[in-house]
Every structure is written in C-alpha cells, then in structure tokens.
Amino acid sequence: MVSAVARPYIDASVPVLREHGLTITRTFYSNMFAEHPELTNLFNMGNQASGVQQQSLASAVFAYAANIDNAAALGPVVSRIVHKHVSVGIKAEHYPIVGRHLLGAIKEVLGDAATPPLISAWDEAYCELALALISAEKEMYAQAGIEPGQLQNMRVIDICDESADIKAFVLEAMPGEAAPPFKPGQYVSVSVNFENGPTQLRQYSLSDAPTGRTLRISVKREQGSALNPAGQVSNWLHDNVVVGSVVRVTHPFGDFTPDAESTAPIVLLSAGVGITPMISVLNRISQVHPNRQVVFAHAARSTAHYAHRPDIARAQSVMPNLHVVNFLENLTSDDISTDYPGRMDISKLPKWPLDEANVYLCGPVEFMQEQWRSLIEMGVPPTRLHREVFGPELLNYLR
C-alpha cells in the first residue's frame, strides 16, 4: 500500500493522468524504444502500431493506483500481467527502465503540473507494483524451472488446414527432450526471427490436450484489409512453416485454465479462433471424465470458417452428456439442422445449473462483452464467469 503522504497525490492525479493517458503512453513508448531499441523484440509491434498496447501497460499502472485498496479487482489483473510477462521473458532489470520512462513521460506531458511531490508519489506507486510483479514473476520462472526468455526448439510434424483461415501445427519435442507440461487453456509464445528485421513473439493457445510429447497450436491468418496491414507472424507461420521446420516456443503460461479434471458441469463458449483453448479443454475432458456434463457452443462465420470440427466429433462419440450448439452467420441448406443462423444467442443453449457450472468465454472482444452481459442477465454469478482475451487486456472495466 502506498504511504499516507503519497496517497492524496495519487488520488488527485489519477483523473488528470487518465485524461492525458494516451499522450503519456505514446510518449513513454516512443522515448523508451528510442533509448532501448532492443526492447522492441519483446513487445508486439503490431499492437503498438494499432495502438492497443499503448492503452494497456500505462493504464494498468493508473488503474492499479486508483484501485490500490481494492485487492479483489486487482488480483486477476496482476495475475494476467504476470503470466504475459513471464511468457515474453520480462526480467527484473527491465523494471527501472520502464519506471524511468513512465515517470519521464508524466513529467513531459504534465509540465509544471508534475510537481516533485506528485512525481515522488507516482514513483512510490510504480515501485510498489513493480516489486509485486518482480516477485511473482521470479516465482513463476522458478516453478517452471526456466530462465527468463528461455525458448525451446520444437519440430513441426504435422500441419492441418482446420478451416478457411486457420492452420493447426503439431510441434514435437526434439529427441531426448519432452514437451513442456501445461494446463488446458494455456498458451505459448512463438518467437519468429524475421530476416534483416526484429524478433517478434506472439501468443498461441494450445489447442490439444497435453500429450507429454507434442504441442498443437492453431493459427488464424490475419488477412489485413485496405486500412490494416496483414498480420506479421500469423502470415509468416502460414506461408513459411512446413513439416520438418523447427519453431521456437516459450514455456506455456496463462491463467485462463478451465478445470478439465473436475466433474462439475462446465460451459465453454467461443467464437472464431477463440475455439482453440476450448478444444484443449474438451479433448482433456473426453479423456478423463467422458460422462461430464458439458455445454460447448461455438459461433463461426460459416462452416468453412469453423475449425476443429473433427475434434468435436471425436469428443461427441465418447461423451454422452456433451451438448454442442453451433451458430453460423452464413448458414446454408447444407449445414446440419442443429446449427442456428446468426450470432451466438445463449437463450438457445440447453439449461445448466447456474450455481454449479463455471462458464468460459473466448473470442472477439465484442462477442465476449455481449455474452458476458447476457450471462449476467440470465443470473450466472460473476464469480463463475471467466474469459480469455487474444490481445492486451485494455482494463476499461477497472475504473
């Protein structure tokens, strides 16, 4: 907790910092990357270019300070940051660099309003958060038995076109090595070293149950449009990786870990490529508790865009209490009669015991917001709702 001296300065300045939030964070990143170009290898430069990351790191610091006495709100935020940080190999020695540039950006943007006591209050708040993150990250590296930034070479042994724009890559551990253990729902970061360019890391949820020998990721090609360039890493993976290629991945991390080992009813709701962690969970449940009551609902643009149907069919063949409900935006007469047209509508799902089942969501942000609202209206307790965001968490809800 920040000191009684710092507290009033933090409280008074949070609204001002929020108002100037984007300018501060842009200044922060641009100054930091100018002084430490090597850090661009850690950051997702696609997120930087599209602006989503700018809102994330610094706004987390502001949100933290504003909610400093609200441990319930902060717990999940800190946990997500820690998992993301260890997945990209953040080290303790990076923190002073970020802290210096963040405080520098506050001073630069606020000018005379950034008085010495205000800066010292923010210094204190940043240090407190940094120490908490450093300690949690140190523990996670130790638990995983890895050094920060450690990568494992894995050979691609199979590639499958799962849908019109999703390819699954099966990666096998090198001779004498094992695939890292993971919980269904977790992700690895894939490291791509572009020729004459930067290294970039991207997270991909593991899309099969743990096997001990292999990992599977399923990657959607980010096509790009007239306004946005095509995604760097996903296109590179689609266009360059062949059976026999070696790819480099981090240890699996992530705090979105639906309990696949329990026997309680469970609800898995996904849209688009958000199906990947759900398939890992489903495949694991089909191995350990095939009689478990599972509602699995998925929304896709069309049958051609619906990935991993063979996994679902396999699960259906051994799981008598699995209820699969599909929503297809472009439903044709060839689609099976149990599919619904349009976007996901939870009123179409079979009923489940609201107080017993956890509900897991993964898909585009608007999809999750819409479903989250509907699920709350339906009476699902918020503590039973969990979601995975395939990008930086923008923390808009933390005010």
Which are the catalytic amino acids? 95, 137
Nearest to ligand FAD of 71, 227 (CB atom): 227
Please tell me whether residue 169 binds ligand FAD under the rule CB under 6 A. Answer: no
Whole-angstrom distance, CA of residue 109 vs CA of residue 120: 16
In the complex, least distance from residue 199 CB atom to ligand FAD, rounded to whole angstroms: 12
Q: How far lies 370's CA from each of 269, 276, 344, 345, in Å?
A: 12, 20, 9, 10
Asked if 21 is part of the footprint of ligand FAD (rule: CB under 6 A), the reply reads: no
CB 69 within 8 A of CB 1: yes
Any alpha helices (H) in 43-115, and if so which ranges? 45-50, 57-66, 71-88, 94-110
Q: List the single partner that 125 binds among ligand FAD, ligand HEM, none, CB under 5 to 8 Å by kind.
A: none
Query: In the β-sheet with 340-341, what is the strand arrangement from edge to edge?
Result: 340-341, 322-328, 294-300, 266-271, 358-362, 385-388
Applying CB under 6 A, which of residues 13, 205, 257, 358 lies at the interface with ligand FAD? 205
Q: Does 387 bind ligand FAD (CB under 6 A)?
A: no
Q: Using the rule CB under 6 A, give the single segment among 33-41, 44-52, 112-120, 137-145 that binds ligand FAD.
A: 44-52
**Which partner in ligand FAD, ligand HEM, none is near 80 (CB below 5 to 8 A by kind)?**
ligand HEM
Minimum CB distance to ligand HEM smaller for 133 or for 190: 133
Binding residues for ligand HEM, rule: CB under 6 A, are 39, 42-44, 47, 53, 56-57, 60-61, 80-81, 84-85, 88, 90, 94-95, 98, 126, 129-130, 133, 392-393
The 8-class DSSP code of residue 227 comes to S
Query: Which range in 26-34, 175-183, 218-226, 243-251 contacts ligand FAD by CB under 6 A?
Result: 218-226
Q: Report strand pairing: 266-271 vs 166-173.
A: unpaired
CB of 363 to ligand HEM, least distance (A): 16
Q: Is 364 in the site for ligand FAD (CB under 6 A)?
A: no
Which option in ligand HEM, ligand FAD, none does residue 224 bind, with CB closer than 5 to 8 A by kind? Answer: ligand FAD
CA dihedral 201, 207, 209, 214 (to 10 degrees): -50
Long-range contacts of residues 126-133, Cβ cutoff 8 Å, at least 24 apart? 126/61, 126/99, 126/102, 127/99, 128/1, 128/2, 129/61, 129/64, 130/95, 130/98, 130/99, 132/78, 133/78, 133/81, 133/82, 133/85, 133/95
- Work out how close the CB of 273 gets to ligand FAD at its nearest, in angstroms, rounded to a whole number: 4
- Whose Cβ is closer to ligand HEM: residue 95's or residue 182's? 95
How far apart, in whole angstroms, are the C-alpha atoms of residue 299 and residue 305? 10
Nearer to ligand HEM, 200 or 293 (CB): 200
Q: Given candidates 107, 220, 284, 308, which one binds ligand FAD under the rule CB under 6 A?
A: 220
Q: Does 204 bind ligand FAD (CB under 6 A)?
A: yes
- Report the alpha-carbon distance of residue 258 to residue 270 in Å, rounded: 13
Q: Contacts with ligand FAD in 288-347 (CB under 6 A)?
A: none
Regarding 233 and contact with ligand FAD (CB under 6 A), the answer is yes
- Minimum Å distance from CB 87 to ligand FAD? 8
What Rg do the C-alpha atoms of the chain give, in angstroms? 22
Q: Does 229 bind ligand FAD (CB under 6 A)?
A: yes
DSSP string, 319-384: -TTEEEEEEESS--TTS-TTPEESS--GGGSPP--TTT-EEEEES-HHHHHHHHHHHHHHT--GGG
Considering only 27, 257, 276, 358, the residue that binds ligand FAD (CB under 6 A) is: 276
Assign 312 to helix, strand or coil.
helix
CA atoms of 74 and 78, how far apart (whole Å): 6
* Contact flag: residue 218 with ligand FAD (CB under 6 A): yes
- With CB under 6 A as the rule, give the number of residues binding ligand FAD: 27
Binding residues (CB under 6 A) for ligand FAD: these are 44, 46, 49-50, 187, 202-205, 218-220, 222, 224, 228-229, 231-235, 254, 273, 276, 388, 390-391
